Homo-oligomer: A and B are copies of this chain.
């Protein structure tokens, strides 16, 4: 990996260092349970150094969100083809990289209209839409299927991260595995007690 020189007046890779510190802090105390100054201290620079790279706090979180959407897109694209697997990948991303996910879906914390963020988000959505296109039969159903699947995965991820599913599902199972089962239940239809 080649650790870059981090001594001297110029840090060398402050931008990445602050982003990493931010992700770590977010994982520990939530998306706003820390201060820019604290990140600066962790990175070993002065309290005003991060501002040069991100402008302000919203700027930093904007960068985090953009990186998060890009990473999510990668994950989803890797699972493309199988509709159910896309849902599982969505949940897996949220569970394994909660810091990104938590920021991404709190638009009031960053500049959601930032070009980089918007582009990365559009890429994520494209995978979801194409997944629904494959699963839905008639075209009118496409939108509803996409909304249902997206809502399902998104809701499961959110509830899991909030700890709301802890009691009902902590039989030691992998959350993504449980999500797959839930997804299958919905795909077969949970309205009529079939089978």
Contacts and interface: CB of A to CB of B under 8 A. Distances in A.
Interface of A: 29-30, 32-33, 83-84, 105-109, 112, 135-138, 141, 143-159, 162-165, 168-169, 178, 181-195
B194 A137 contact: yes
Contacts of A108: 29-30, 33
Contacts of A83: 191
Contacts of A178: 147
Given A155-B150, A156-B155, A187 B190 contact: yes
A190 B155 contact: no
26 contacts: A33-B108, A107-B163, A136-B193, A138-B193, A141-B185, A141-B193, A144-B185, A146-B168, A147-B156, A147-B185, A148-B152, A148-B185, A150-B155, A151-B151, A151-B152, A151-B153, A151-B155, A154-B155, A154-B158, A155-B157, A158-B158, A186-B191, A187-B189, A187-B190, A188-B189, A189-B194
A143 B185 CA distance: 10
A169 B147 CA distance: 9
Contacts of A151: 151-153, 155-156, 159, 182
